[in-house]
Amino acid sequence: METEALAKVEQLAAKKLSIFQQNIFRSLLRSIMASMFIGFGVIVAFKTGALFYQVESPMAYPAAALTFGMAIILIYYAGGDLFTGNTFYLSYATLRRKMTWVDTLKMLLSSYIGNIIGAILFAILIWLTQLFADAKVHTFLLEVAHKKVDASTIEIFFRAILCNWLVCLAFFIPYFMKTDGAKMFVMILLVFSFFIAGFEHSIANMSVFALSIAAQGWGAISIGDILHNLIPATLGNIMGGGVLMATFYYYLNKPYFKESGNNNENT
């Protein structure tokens, strides 16, 4: 069963709670850092994809999807605090009564705000570099951004559920592995899967929208369009991490925690 890996999830959630309680500003900085790592992934993905997009190659999207995985590797190894992963970690630890729902909601809100700030700050940095000023480079990014806001609310919501299911698995499955190479391969593979499938990741979308504005100004995409995407994407990501990951694994493994004597739900 997954009890050993889930115990590591509890330990990570406890560390996150400890950091949050000791110094909320440090916790917020980790969230800012995480979405800036996502920003690096978006930049590399769309700069790579643009090379193929310019020559009308069908490899544009696969190339972008393959290179975006670096963002998750950065977060996993460099200590970022990502909202979407927290929906799994914190919800599971709360179901196991290692922390309260009030703590979880506070931490989710803090990480979400930090992720927004990080996406904006990273977009400002990219605007200062003018790396996306050339239409040949940013056209691919803008096309993807417009596709995201053109989808219906219900489509975005269910795409977001499936997205965070895969993203949380990309963080969870490496707990079963011993070598860094194997861990990174799984992370890249699962992130490639959600990207190429066209699923919706709320924090990655923040970066896509912020970078689109940095590339072409406020005419690139409206605040209304951004909210049309981010609200259902965020709710769907919460469902994916909180229900399809945290609740399912809690229910499936509950009997085995009792058998192993690792059931501390009433403490």
Task: Give pLDDT tens digits for 59-95.
Answer: 999 999 999 999 999 999 999 999 999 999 999 999 9
Q: How buried is 218 (Cβ within 10 angstroms: 0-12 exposed, 13-18 middle, 19+ buried)?
A: exposed
* The predicted structure's pLDDT at residue 257: 78
Nearest to 142 by CA among 63, 68, 42, 74: 42
pLDDT digits (tens, 9 = 90+) for 46-63: 999 999 999 999 999 999
Rounded distance, CA 212 to CA 123, Å?
Answer: 9
Query: Which whole number is the average pLDDT over 11-31?
Result: 97
With a cut of 80, say whether residue 260 has pLDDT above it. Answer: no
Residue 133 has a pLDDT of 87
- Is 267 within the bounds of a domain? no
Report which DSSP code applies to 42.
Answer: H
| Other Cβ atoms closer than 10 A to 104 | 22
175: CB partners within 8 A, 6+ apart? 4, 5, 8, 9
pLDDT in tens, 207-259: 999 999 999 888 889 999 999 999 999 999 999 999 999 999 999 999 887 65
The CA distance from 229 to 108, in Å, is 19
For residue 243, the domain's CATH number is: 1.20.1080.10
Q: What is the pLDDT of residue 258?
A: 67
Joined tokens for residue 171: 């963080």
C-alpha dihedral sign at 223, 146, 70, 216: negative
Query: How many domains are there within the chain?
Result: 1
The per-residue pLDDT for 7 is 95
**Whether 235 contacts 160, CB under 8 Å:** yes
Residue 262 has pLDDT above 70, yes or no: no
Residue 264 lies in a domain: no
In this structure, how many other beta carbons lie within 10 angstroms of the beta carbon of residue 139?
17
d(CA 2, CA 85): 18
What predicted TM-score, i.e. pTM, was given to this entire model? 0.92
Task: Give me the half-sphere count of Cα atoms (radius 13 Å) on the Cβ side of residue 111.
Answer: 27
The answer to whether residue 48 sits within a structural domain is: yes
Does 207 map to a domain?
yes
Residue 266: inside a domain: no
In a domain, 37, yes or no: yes
At 127-153, the pLDDT tens digits run 999 988 888 889 999 999 999 999 999
Question: Does residue 192 carry a pLDDT above 90?
Answer: yes
Which residue segment(s) compose the domain that 61 sits in? 3-257
Instruction: Give 194: exposed, middle or buried? Use CB within 10 Å, 0-12, 13-18, 19+.
Output: buried
* Distance between CA atoms of residues 262 and 121, nearest Å: 43
What are the φ and ψ backbone dihedral angles of 258, each rounded to 5 degrees?
Answer: -65, -45
3-state helix, strand, coil in the chain (%, to 5): 85, 0, 15
Nearest Cα to Cα of residue 56 among 132, 139, 146, 149 = 139
Assigned domain for 179 exists: yes
Q: pLDDT (tens digit, 9 = 90+) per residue, 177-187? A: 999 999 999 99
Asked whether residue 146 is domain-assigned, the answer is yes
Q: What percentage of the chain carries pLDDT values higher than 90? A: 89
pLDDT value of residue 259: 53
